[in-house]
Copies of this chain bind each other. A is one copy, B any other.
Amino acid sequence: MDRPMPPGWDHAPSATCAQVGEHALIRWITARLATAPSADLLVDVGDDAAVVVPRRNHVDVLTTDVLVDGVHFTRAFSDARDVGHRALHVNLSDVAAMGAEPRWALLSLGLPPDLEARWVAELIDGLVDAATALRVRLIGGNISRSPVLFADVTVSGAAKPRHVLRRSGARVGDELYVSGEVGAAAAGLAWLQWQATAGDAAAGSMHDDTIAAAVTRFRRPEARVALGIQVGRNKAASACMDTSDGLADALRQLATASGVGMRIEAGALPRAAGLASVAAATGADAETLAWSGGEDYELLFAVPRRSRRRFAHATTRKGLPPVTRIGVCTKDADVCIVDQEGRVQPVPGGFEHFGGRG
């Protein structure tokens, strides 16, 4: 496996966190972060706390989310840079879902003493690269000993108050749109899990580009940052949330928060290209992956009919992912799916972080 050394990392490749030590790790991280001074950053890493200047006439958007080894990732399927990238993007996705621009990140790392220190440096490397690409700065955090590896990230963003997108703003008649495609990350994970048990026999299938894309989507999700900002600025949506726990979960949560029902056209779902290939190769159920598979980090929007053209205008800018209309908000009490034959069924259950799928 290609593992370029993180810039400036000069410890023995197999040295553990305990051997390198907290202070040396923090020194390396601080050096890795060193970038141009910013007028908005009064106190950077190295003090008791970071100090930043809020953006004028904007509000602060704050969120925190954690990746725990063995729960949200395994080191068998994701390398350290993937984990760093993802730890940031799961938070960027929440900020994007509010229509806000992410600005600052804090990182709280829990590290087993016997973990390779180089692995930690690679995680930081992946996180900082992901942050730099979106002009987000890592401005603080802490390193702690822990029996299990975890990376807890907090992101702070900014939006004008009138541009903030809530979950609760959808009204009866509003149309529902989802960005990108659904089920890609779940398909990628299903393929990795199958490959791990099937061994060499599985290697051939990887030549399928759609599977490779699904695996990448799982390993390095791309939060829809620019899209969330655009839609917020154009005031083109009445509600928004991300699909981190799957589309079905997002639909139900947005419906509950807004006090509406929903009618979703099954045929309209922008299913990930890799779903069919993964289902064929592994025997996984493509529909379950599409509706209930998490980790896509797409955005779900409710759009008033009168804002349809404005929404189309905001979402067709260069570089933005496609958006697809998948249904409408109703005055019913539940979220239902209508298939191509007109049959109606309730939306499948979602993810419970303790209990598996309910």
Contact = CB atoms under 8 A, between A and B. Distances in A.
B63 A48 contact: yes
A12 interface: no
A156 B60 contact: yes
Contact of A353 (B46, B71, B144): B144
B66 A61 contact: no
A71 B242 contact: no
Contacts of A150: 110, 146, 150
A4 to B, nearest CB: 25
B51 A110 contact: no
A296 to B, nearest CB: 14
A354 B64 CA distance: 25
B42 A242 contact: no
A27 B72 CA distance: 23
A336 interface: no
Interface string A119-158: 0000000000000000000011111111110101010110
B142 A66 contact: yes
A150 B358 CA distance: 25
A352 to B, nearest CB: 5
B60 A98 contact: no
B47 A152 contact: no
A53 interface: yes
B161 A42 contact: yes
A49 B98 contact: yes
A355 B51 CA distance: 30
Nearest to A22: B353
A267 interface: no
Contact of A51 (B52, B61, B66, B71): B61
A94 B64 contact: no
A108 to B, nearest CB: 5
Nearest 4 interchain pairs by C-beta: A54-B54, A49-B63, A48-B97, A48-B94
